[in-house]
Amino acid sequence: MCKIEMKLFKKLLAVALFTGGLPLTVMAQQAIFDRNSVVSPRINVDGTVTFTLYAPQAKRVQVTSDCLPPDTFLVKGKVYLRDGVRDMQHTGDTWTFTTQQLKPEFYYYWYTVDGVKTNDPMNVFKVRDVANTMDYFLIGESSSNPYIVGDVPHGSVARVWYPSKQAGLNRRMTIYTPAGYEEGKQKYPVLYLLHGMGGDEEAWIATGRAAEIFDNLIASGKAVPMIVVMPNGNISQQAAPGEAPGLPKQPSFNLPKTMEGSFEEAFPEIKEFIERHYRTINDKSHRAIAGLSMGGFHSQVISANHPDWFKFVCLFSAAIVDGQRQKSNLKMYGHFDDKLKKQFADKNLYYWMGIGRTDFLYDMNKIYREGLDKMGCKYTYMETDGGHIWRNWRVYLTEFAQKLFK
């Protein structure tokens, strides 16, 4: 391609970025010739990262990322944090921004071009969190960052359908089995890992990096080999958006029957299916349940209603059963303090809670812990920086996984 043709091509590309009107043949040329002209994000040798966007007609470009120092905002006089936003610098036809030196971690980002949110066209690595699609990158090596795919034996990840009489639907869940499961006859303990509101059975395996975490922890001897079951906690859904029968539906944060008892009542179907179809150790000492936000709420309720099922219970930034909710479903939420007393009567119960200092559920969790203290209930507590964010939940999973079944 000569210089004149390349110049014309770049003009066409710039138009396409803002109009979406690029012909298929030109898009094919872009994939062949132009992708290598802009590298983004670029991980530099000094541990900084440079974002680059080709946008010659843009007036202002910003990058939003959890790798940037967070911005603050006030709600009713209380300070909360959100992902940092920085203006990118305009040089010629491109916009760039270079971060400070970053620690090993999984980071996400997106651009805002003249007020319009967009993803990085040069980064093929993306995750979906509810209805938001974000670009991501990783810093470090698997020895320092458990979210990176390590050169270790790998478990298998399967999407499995099961019949739910309670929901009247065939429903899908994601199941991780440790390395060697298919070839052996060994039985394994089970962790039921639940997502938050608006999430689905893909959340923990994608944004949560659950498979990478367990592969690396198990290979290093820090975690016991286990089966991890990640169901869809939205009882009205068959599966994640785009995976259910019929035409794909857009993801939604507000789904019916999420925290009114239906999923908790139907959970025994999941447990029975797993123990019928997988090589599991079917006793309390070899079962655990954990979840983030809404999934923490579900974990709290399910474990309290079935005190003989789980020795290990973990709440990540959990929504908490309160007095008002107890009135909404007496079967699941009623007489909740009595249920907790029965659950905590088992002195071998390992009850773990984690939350960020600026999480909007912090006060609710503080009240819950104070209530447990008054009842003499023992638990393990972890408090971290930050708010209601995946970075915290990955940390909590990594910590909690190392305590299980030992």
Backbone angles phi, psi at 312, to 5 degrees: -115, 125
358 within 8 A of 386, measured Cβ to Cβ: yes
Q: In the chain, which residues have pLDDT < 70?
A: 1-36, 323-324, 326-328
**Cα dist from 167 to 8, 149, 270, 309, whole Å:** 57, 36, 12, 22
Closest CA to 169 of 257, 250, 229: 257
What confidence score (pLDDT) does residue 36 get? 53
Which DSSP string do the residues of 329-388 spell out, in sequence order?
-HHHHTTHHHHHHHHHT-TT-EEEEEEETT-TTHHHHHHHHHHHHHTT---EEEEESSSS
- Do residues 298 and 305 touch, judged by C-beta distance below 8 A? no
Separation of alpha carbons 329 and 259, rounded Å: 10
Paired tokens of 262: 């239906």
The whole-angstrom separation of Cα 146 and Cα 169 is 36
- Which one of 3.90.550.10, 3.30.460.10, 3.40.50.1820, 3.40.50.720 gives the CATH number of domain 156-401? 3.40.50.1820
| Cα 278 from chain centre | 25
DSSP 98-157: E-----SEEEEEEEEETTEEE--TT---EEEETTEEEEEEEES-TTT-TTSPPSS---EE
CA dist 335 and 321 (Å) reads 11
pLDDT 10s digits, 174-184: 999 999 999 99
| CATH 3.40.50.1820 domain position(s) in the chain | 156-401
Least Cα distance to 119 among 137, 101, 93 occurs for 137
All CATH 2.60.40.10 domain ranges of the chain, comma separated, are 38-138
**Amino acid at residue number 185:** K
Write the pLDDT tens digit of every residue in 294-319.
999 999 999 999 999 999 999 999 99
- Ranges of beta strands (E only) in 6-45 are 42-43
Q: What is the CATH number of domain 38-138?
A: 2.60.40.10
